[in-house]
Amino acid sequence: MKIKEIVTEILSKKKENGGVKQLYFVGCGGSLGALYPAKIFMEKESSNIKTGWFNSNEFVHSTPKDFGENSIIVLACHKGDTPETVKAAQLGKEKGAAVIILTWLEKSPIVEHGDYIIKYNFGDDKDVAGEKTMCALLIAVEVLNMVEGYENYDKFMDGVSRIDLIVNKAAKHVEKRALAFANEYKNDSVIYTMGSGSAYGAAYMESICIFMEMQWINSSSIHSGEFFHGPFEITDANIPFVVQISEGSTRPLDERALKFLKTYAKRIEVIDAKELGLSTIDPSVVDYFNHSLFNNVYPVYNKALAIEREHPLSTRRYMWKVEY
């Protein structure tokens, strides 16, 4: 079933009981980060549908009181076996919510708890338009369009048709600078990421999944609007920052942070969505595509960094190895 058909069926089924009033996005770590743009989309574009973006374990232990028959819950779970996310899916079934699961494997423990299973694209040669972030966004776009109407629907779909080519070109474009980045930062013990808008999700993922998890480098993802209200005091000539410059409405926030860093820091890696070709997407919808661009350009840097540091991205000391 395609996403549009799934949403059509859910709305049809929910119609008699008052319709869809909540659209919740739930996951853990990178899977949660990947849902961030969809949450931002609903927060900004919808007038009447409540949204929320929750870590699975917090959602299970501290569930919104309205979660139930008028809710859609969208869960992301890569291999379908994250216990907290499986529990959140079970809770969705118990409460009568429509449960949509975004996952990579056909078969897994979570699958039986979903009303709808969407198998997303993943891996080096994937079509970015079918990635989990885009799947979650498309669910949000279809729900909004069918419930309230979405004036930029066609422009959004045009953006979807463009994102894969933009990403592929961008990934090639940064190859050389990724090698230089890896060489420059290979011995650092702290690297910050920075971003705004829907792309903050990509900054979060790079910080927790790559620097902390896969490279054991201390990190934090700083919101570029928050930077000037605390975090910027750690700025000096030695601390490295990876700065995302989004295209769209929050670009001035990122540019302001970059301007400061260019004056007071020395070690800055800039990833600029405009330079990387995102501006061919219509300004009315471009905000929501920044995350997918950054999140798919980072792997070029990450692979180079892992080689330079002789620390493969698959190395773990706790995950899959000890109980927790």
User: What does the alpha-carbon distance between residue 91 and residue 97 come to, in Å, rounded to a whole number?
Assistant: 9
In the region spanning residues 13 to 42, those forming contacts with a second copy, defined by CB under 8 A, are 21, 28-32
CB-based contacts of 139: which residues, under 8 Å, 6+ apart? 3, 6, 7, 23, 38, 72, 74, 100
Among 165, 255, 260, 299, binds a second copy (CB under 8 A): 260
Q: How many Cβ atoms from other residues are within 10 Å of residue 303's Cβ?
A: 16
Minimum gap (Å) between residue 33 Cβ and a second copy: 9
Q: Does 316 sit near a second copy (CB under 8 A)?
A: yes
Q: Does 155 sit near a second copy (CB under 8 A)?
A: no
* Residue 6 or 147 having the CB closest to a second copy: 147
Total residues at interface with a second copy (CB under 8 A): 71
User: What does the alpha-carbon distance between residue 79 and residue 27 come to, in Å, rounded to a whole number?
Assistant: 12
Minimum gap (Å) between residue 171 Cβ and a second copy: 23
Q: Does 196 sit near a second copy (CB under 8 A)?
A: yes
User: What does the alpha-carbon distance between residue 34 and residue 203 come to, in Å, rounded to a whole number?
Assistant: 11
* Residue 90 or 249 having the CB closest to a second copy: 249
Q: Does 244 sit near a second copy (CB under 8 A)?
A: no
In the region spanning residues 81 to 140, those forming contacts with a second copy, defined by CB under 8 A, are 82, 84
Output the six-digit token pair for 311. Answer: 């620390």
Q: Does 274 sit near a second copy (CB under 8 A)?
A: no
Q: Quote the crossing angle between the two packed helices 290-309 and 36-45, to the nearest 10°.
A: 160
User: What does the alpha-carbon distance between residue 287 and residue 281 come to, in Å, rounded to a whole number?
Assistant: 9
In the region spanning residues 58 to 87, those forming contacts with a second copy, defined by CB under 8 A, are 58, 61-66, 82, 84
